[in-house]
Structure 1
């Protein structure tokens, strides 16, 4: 026995709750017990060590369950109590005799179990007489069962004793009467912190951290093993990462030890289940029977907490990491035998791909025929891009032709990208060198073989797309241009896709002056008689280039043609990429409804095909169309889904765009805290001139506008792009022009407002959009002299042009018009517009805007209540009763009869109701009351 001295508490990453629970248990005057459950590597032993460090002046007894002693009754109890057996002399004679016999290996008859358990309790009480006692037993389930039963008896009887018992076990089997706690996987944040603790110094790039976190699946020991095993190049993202924790790491050793204690038939069945995780339950049952076993053989593995067997015979692993460890713990001979058995069980016709995959996993060297079979199986069509990537990767490994192997590896990388796994895609592309080009011409050198150039071009196209979506848009541009050059002669369609992506990189980075080069290269690829998809891409790039040059008259026809072509796509040409391009064209030419249909179709098509890598961009475009259609709630939903998918797929730049859009949507609705939270989530990685940065500045400018900080708002929006340089976010600035004009006008900068509005009007003039024309008219009204006929005319034109669905922007125009009328000393005229604006904002939940309308109404001579107060709090009981009768459709005469009132009294009450609620009609009253 040793005595613990108080030391500084070491906080375990992600286990703060468990540490706090242990400290609370130790701080109790009386004792108690806690049983910690967790998979291997979850940190059970570390938590027991934490308790020992934090035990203060307590005496310590510690033991660990040993599988080698599992068949020796009370062996674990003997090791735990050996330091204090000299205190057994204080026990009653009978208890002392039973304890001595049990710990000496003479056994304990069933009738003496109570006496033995009482003796152990008495011995611990005697030890704790001078100072409190802490007993820890790690891996209780691995030791002998009699020790576990005896300690459970003692642990249930500590409520009035200064004895604390902490136990740990790998299985989930609880112990009646003892509080248990399951150790959950670490959160991603804690996983990253643990990696930093384990490997100090320069930290790896964000994609590497994300990949390691995903591989470890929240297991602390897996994270530690990975951090220890990675080479410096892997740590910095310069070489591919492993797909699982190292087979010689502590976690793998722990699983080998765990699995080694299972019966042979259980281990075989468990390995079959691990390698057949993608197969249905019936196939797995047939495979286990073919191995001469049954599903019931898995009972020991289920008792150990490794798997769970459902009623249909399906085997469920608690964690994917467990399945990986089961495979890592098997020998090559065992793996090969199981893969061949599974291949024999699978139907060659109906399950061609999984059968070929298992045959390939059993192959020891190059097998060109099997590689061809794998490739053909994926060509038949698959529902799972990740499985297809695995098949093509294995086909590349089995190929005896190096060029064919590279082609298959590049295709596998594309499939992995579709599946939303950019890290795997990068690892597959690691061995493929970028396309060589002549420095003077940018073309492949004359010695380059067309086939090799084409493969490398496809690899660069994928590299560039991943750089664009995952965090390095400036670096994506040269890669995509190189891909377009390499593919121009052999795959013109893919070369055009590369140029469309290059144009996206230009616009994202705010280097619009470089779009001219993209347009020039696209024009060189254009051919008469091109299929619709090729026509769409070339027309789109031409239209965007003209838009960025400010040549809207020439851009409009091109962009409208791209929208029409997008609506005509069929068959193989109907892809999310093509539909997204058509939706971009629709947004630029302000045909919002067709653009929304195209973007929505792109989203659904990407979902149907399982092309997860395309979802964030398609959802971004759908959200933009919903913003312009005035559907703020659905735009928020699209952005939130896009943010979730982008983060899950490592698309950090796409995630930043969705955060920026969410910030703008919240700011437009004057939801300050929400908008600022989204801006904060974007972090410092968002660079100036980039699209996320511009969206964040737009959101902050709108918040400035709401708070009447007009100068700040105008300065932010004016800085989004720099005229004449081709730098900055011109398109975002144009979209934000109504806010810029409003801010500059209020700040006394009419010249700046007119300059911005002139650019906006040139764009609007090339469209047929009523909503854009309404915003233009509103801006002109703000710039007109106060109280002038021109201001009145422009405001009325704006209200006439606002589409029926654009309720929010119409309410903003009504608020601004009402404010203008009031300040022009026309309060009576102002009230109608302010009432409608206030009511719309209230119904939309735009609380702060509703309050501004209320303030204007009061300034116009109306006495109105706060719009955020419900009708039940604004009306008297009788008024509320009348209001509900009106809302239900009753006439004043019917209400008077029902309430025994005169119709004149009902009229009087109804006028007061309208006044208190700030409404003007019975229809509005029905809306207010829901």
Structure 2
């Protein structure tokens, strides 16, 4: 039994508790601390105790040089259980094998993460699994993202994930979503105990080592072993990593040159393959006795050989070995590894790049090909690094510039803003073709200032896009124009700016029904051209276009012009296709657009479930902007349902993100949610305050397009406060906009608003007009119209006539889950003389959004594994959810789900 760790009783207790919890439920912990503080030793304790408890332990240690090789870390972690991939459904099996280069074509990264989750969950069915990841900061980003994806979804699995990370660096697991254990220095008593165990030193040397080590266990051991009297004056406190590297470097200096070169090959290698290292060592050292050289390094305490694997005793030894070598020695080691790795294209390319000094077009071409493969695998950070290194090795200035611009574009498109900004600094515009000079101009304009610039730059950027189109880059130009059109929609751009962009887009030469062109026109000119865009979208069939992105563009454009019934099937198709392909960032965008559509069409349960998923995906993908847009949208739904606390939380969350960016117009939905909450509870003065902010052009949250979502609320609140002139002005403006755009939402809103401002018999004519079918696609507006008509009749002492309308309104509100509106309808019914039953909220209201989503999918006949594939959860997690759902619904079998959920009640459809 190894001796207990000195001074780490508290940390060991935390880890033991985690192991205990993970016997039945998932547990995750990130262990943080400075190099040498004992993180690896704590992972050793976890591994040892897990094995003693009958757990299955899978372990990997990150290697700094492997960060450019996509999926290398995940492959090494799961290598021993990879044969179990044959048990997975074909999409997951193919995704996992494609990531590891064992199948084609490449799969999106999140599909690989889900496949890894299913593989580990299946393995955990036999015995609990412990995943240990040391030096996670050096795991390649694709693998690290997959691990984080997996770790967020093991809550119902007997799986523990424990990762160790060095202080001062970041990884996919250090985003604040996982619990952390910070390992600090030892106190003086325990530091002295460690030093006592390390060996005899004079009293003076002990004092100096204790001072310099600052409680770091590894420093205490290594400094005591290599201590010389001169060290006290040469090494200043506070530089622990360099101090330890110096101690290790001294040990390396004692090795023979050929042994040190053998260790250097291990340091340069990105795996722990003993066979690979032996072959490369024979090349670089010119010695056929490579195994003997490695054995000497083991005897010197530098390397450790375990079976067919070779590694350094500590990562800092690797760093000291690599940094202590001369540049020519490092290049020779990489060249030898490249020669050994003829069959491993990606790794061979990186070793060739590391062994090359000057321009080398053949190596640069290989790196660009490696970047293409990395993009296919979803490893965009590795692709950016490959293109940047290819630029350095390019033989001409034009090729260098082309690759740097491409790397910057890829970085920004992937949300890697820090990397993108650094690349822009390296680009010399003088060394670019006209096309790439234009692209560089676009990047500087869009990403040079991270603050929201609204529509101010749209004309200049539109000119850049037009010139790119003239250079033959039509597809790229249209992509740029879509983002500019979105800026117009969200920024209250003036007509000259908006219509100028439309004219430029139509001049690119795309077909009139091109989805991207329709999206541009719909966003930039929703009033002036909305009717024509709607007619063209209506003529297209969802799901039969060239790509899911076409469905997304058309669906989002339909939301921009208020044609939500047209948007629904398009966005449903986009969501389904992105989901099946594992394209998470695009799925996130499609879900946010569909949430808004679901809100207006009364599919509120689906919208809340999608909002729950959007927040999870925003964490997975790092797309915070879309996550916050989803929060603002969900606030509208929560307000309509009467969930004032949820609406307030979501609204404040969105504000905290958008306000510092200066993106005030993005908060219009939040103000409209507050308006809706206030109207629902009769707080009309408060409601009018919020809705006026959205309507007033001088307000920072004014939104020329989104304000119409709150038109009915504006009219209702103004009338309640006897502001009839203001209410009439809103309706008058609504009429003029509708005449120009024929927006379906505006048309429906007018059917509700017109009779509210009318007087005498004209009001009833308009109320009846609203009952003729125009409001059927809009259940919330329909119910509010019925409530208003019933109330109007009752107040004119026509109680008998009012009751059918009030009952219908009450039942529709109840079906939607609009609790405060049910109360309003019931109050009116009581006032009409009718005895009112208490509303039956239903057992389904006890479910969380995700639980309802799972229950709906199960009720539709999907198996647990199919539901898991739909929601990127393991099938075992789905089973655990259903185990908790059944008692809440008071049922015992799946066959009872449909009736328990209320059959086919409106607004409860699965997503």
Q: Could you tell me the TM-score, scaled by structure 2's length? A: 0.58
- C-alpha separation between the residues in 2 aligned to 1:386 and 1:478? 32
CA positional deviation for 1:631: 2.0
In 1, Cα distance between equivalents of 2:747 and 2:499 = 32
Q: Does 1:748 align with 2:742?
A: no
Q: Distance in 2 between matches of 1:39 and 1:687?
A: 31
SS in 1 for 2:797: coil
Q: What does 1:887-902 correspond to in 2, within 5 Å?
A: none
Q: 1:522 aligns with which of 498, 501, 504?
A: 504
Provide the rounded CA distance (Å) in 2 between the counterparts of 1:768 and 1:338. 70
Once the two structures are superposed, what CA deviation does each residue of 1:280-330 show, in whole Å capped at 9, x if it has no partner? x9xx57535645799xx99x99xx9x9999x998999999x9999997788
In structure 1, what is the equivalent of residue 531 of structure 2? 556
Q: Which residue of 2 aligns with 1:411?
A: 406
User: 2:276 — aligned with what?
Assistant: 287
1:502 aligned to 2:484?
yes
Q: Which residue of structure 1 aligns with residue 192 of structure 2?
A: 63
1:557 shift after superposition: 1.7
Residue 148 of structure 2 corresponds to none
Q: Tell me how far apart the structure 2 counterparts of residues 832 and 712 of structure 1 sit (CA, whole Å).
A: 31
Question: CA shift at 1:409, angstroms?
Answer: 1.0
Q: Matched residues in 1 for 2:182 and 2:790: separation?
A: 70
Q: Aligned ranges for residues 550-589 of structure 1 at < 5 Å? A: 550-551=527-528, 555-561=530-536, 564=539, 574=547, 576=549, 579-589=551-561
For 2:494, the equivalent position in structure 1 comes to 512
Distance in 2 (CA, whole Å) between partners of 1:63 and 1:519 is 72
Partner residue of 2:461 out of 474, 480, 498: 480
Q: Is the 8 A contact 2:786 2:806 kept in 1?
A: yes
CA-CA distance at 1:415 after TM superposition: 2.3
In 1, Cα distance between equivalents of 2:319 and 2:511: 47
Pair 688,462 (structure 1): closer, same or farther in 2 beyond 3 Å: closer
Q: Which residue of 1 aligns with 2:366?
A: 373
Q: 1:413: Cα distance to partner? A: 1.9
1:122-143 Cα distance to aligned partner (Å, 9 max, x none): xxxxxxxxxxxxxx99455776
Distance in 1, matches of 2:796 and 2:260, equals 87
Q: How far apart are residue 511 of structure 1 and its match?
A: 2.7
Distance 2:610 2:561 in 1: 22
> CA offset at residue 422 of structure 1?
2.4
With over 3 angstroms needed to count, the CA separation of the structure-2 counterparts of 1:628 and 1:340, relative to structure 1, is farther
Residue 780 of structure 1 corresponds to 754
1:614, distance to aligned residue in structure 2 (A): 5.3
Residue number in structure 2 paired with 1:710: 684
Residues 615, 627 of structure 2: 8 Å contact kept:
yes
* Residues in 2 aligned to 1:353 and 1:594: alpha-carbon distance in whole angstroms: 46
Matches of residues 742-891 of structure 1 in structure 2 within 5 Å? 742-764=716-738, 773-785=747-759, 788=761, 790-791=763-764, 794=767, 797-798=770-771, 800-803=773-776, 806-864=778-836, 866-867=838-839
- Distance of aligned partners of 1:868 and 1:539 in 2 relative to their CA distance in 1, 3 Å threshold: closer
Quote the offset at 1:834 in angstroms: 3.9
- Return the match for 1:621 from 576, 586, 593: 593
Q: Provide Cα deviations, 1:476-533, integer angstroms capped at 9, x if missing partner.
A: 5366235325424313513333333222223322233453463365167344xx4578
Structure 1 partner of 2:351:
358
The size of the alignment, in residue pairs, is 647
By how many angstroms is 1:366 displaced?
Answer: 1.8
The two structures have a TM-score, normalised by structure 1, of 0.57
What is the alpha-carbon distance in structure 2 between the residues aligned to residue 807 and residue 288 of structure 1?
A: 69
Structure 1 residues 628, 707: CA separation in 2 closer, same or farther (over 3 Å shift)?
closer
Residue of structure 1 in register with 2:891 after alignment: none
- Aligned partner of 2:171 in structure 1 is none
Instruction: For 2:182 and 2:518, locate their aligned partners in 1 and report how far apart those are by CA, in whole Å.
Output: 64
| Aligned residue number for residue 694 of structure 1 | 668
Residue correspondence of structure 1 range 70-85 to structure 2 within 5 A: 72=199
Residues 855 and 271 (structure 1 numbering): CA distance in 2 closer, same or farther, change over 3 Å?
Answer: farther
SS of the counterpart of 1:430? Answer: helix
- Judged with a 3 Å threshold, the aligned counterparts in structure 2 of structure 1 residues 775 and 273 are, in CA distance, closer, same or farther, namely farther
CA gap of 1:345–1:539, structure 2 versus 1, over 3 A, is: same
Q: Secondary structure of 1:358's match?
A: helix
Instruction: Specify the alignment match of 2:150 in structure 1.
Output: none
Distance 2:198 2:317 in 1: 27
Q: Is the 8 A contact 1:738 1:779 kept in 2?
A: yes
The match for 1:631 is 603
626, 651, 665: which one pairs with 1:679?
Answer: 651
CA distance in 2 between partners of 1:322 and 1:772 (Å)? 69
Q: 1:839 to 1:407 in 2, by over 3 A?
A: same
**CA deviation string 1:240-270 (max 9, x = no partner):** xxxxxxxx96446557767998999999899
Structure number with larger C-alpha Rg: 1
Alignment of 1:125-204 (within 5 A): 138-139=215-216
Q: Deviations over 1:343-398 (max 9, x none)?
A: 344454xx534432331122222212211232245457732333322221111010
Distance 1:141 1:370, change over 3 A: closer
The one-character-per-residue Cα deviations of 1:571-615 (angstroms, maximum 9, x if unpaired) are 6xx473x55442333224444354234445555666788877656
| Matching residue of 2:377 | 383
Whether the aligned pair in 2 keeps the contact of 1:697 and 1:716 (CA below 8 Å) is yes
Pairing 1:738–2:720 present: no
C-alpha distance in structure 2 between counterparts of 1:532 and 1:568, whole Å: 19
Structure 1: state its 5+ residue gaps: 1-14, 19-33, 53-59, 84-135, 148-247, 435-447, 873-921
Aligned equivalents of 2:691, 2:791: Cα separation in 1: 23
- After TM superposition, give the deviation of residue 803 of structure 1 in Å: 3.3
Q: 1:427 aligns with which of 422, 436, 445?
A: 422
Cα pair distance change 1:402/1:585, threshold 3 Å: same
Counterparts of residues 585-600 of structure 1 (less than 5 Å):
585-600=557-572
User: In 2 relative to 1, CA 560–690 (structure 1 residues): closer, same or farther, beyond 3 Å?
Assistant: farther
Equivalent position SS for 2:433: helix
Check 1:249–1:807 CA distance in 2 against 1; reply closer, same or farther (3 A cut). Answer: farther
Q: Distance in 1 between matches of 2:901 and 2:624?
A: 45
Distance in 2 (alpha carbons) for counterparts of 1:515 and 1:382: 37
In 2, are the aligned partners of 1:307 and 1:318 still within 8 Å (CA)?
Answer: no
Q: What CA distance in whole angstroms lies between the structure 1 residues aligned with 2:828 and 2:320?
A: 68
Cα displacement (A) at 1:859: 3.1
In structure 2, how many angstroms separate the alpha carbons of the residues matched to 1:645 and 1:425? 23
Give the structure 1 partner of residue 59 of structure 2: none
CA contact (8 A) 2:800 2:832 kept: yes
Q: In structure 2, how many angstroms separate the alpha carbons of the residues matched to 1:524 and 1:723? A: 29
Give the Cα–Cα distance (whole angstroms) in 2 for the partners of residues 770 and 318 of structure 1: 66
CA pair 645-398 structure 1, distance change in 2 beyond 3 A = farther
Between stretches 253-262 and 583-592, larger displacement belongs to 253-262
Are residues 619 and 798 of structure 1, via their aligned partners in 2, closer, same or farther at CA, if it must alter by over 3 Å?
same
Over 3 Å counting, the alpha-carbon distance change for 1:524 and 1:845 in structure 2 is closer
Matched residues in 1 for 2:806 and 2:480: separation? 51
CA distance in 2, matches of 1:423, 1:478: 27
Equivalent pair of 1:771/1:802 in contact (CA under 8 Å): no
Other structure's SS at 2:192 match: strand
Query: Does structure 2 retain, via aligned residues, the 8 Å contact 1:642–1:655?
Result: yes
Shift of 1:639: 4.4
- Rate the CA distance shift 1:776–1:465 in 2: closer, same or farther, 3 A: same
Report deviation, 1:731. Answer: 0.8
Could you tell me which residue of structure 2 aligns to residue 437 of structure 1? none
Q: After superposition, what is the alpha-carbon deviation per residue over 1:63-89, rounded to whole angstroms, capped at 9, x for unaligned?
A: 2635xx76537999x969x99xxxxxx
Backbone CA RMSD of aligned residues: 5.6
**Residue 491 (structure 1) aligned with residue 485 (structure 2):** no
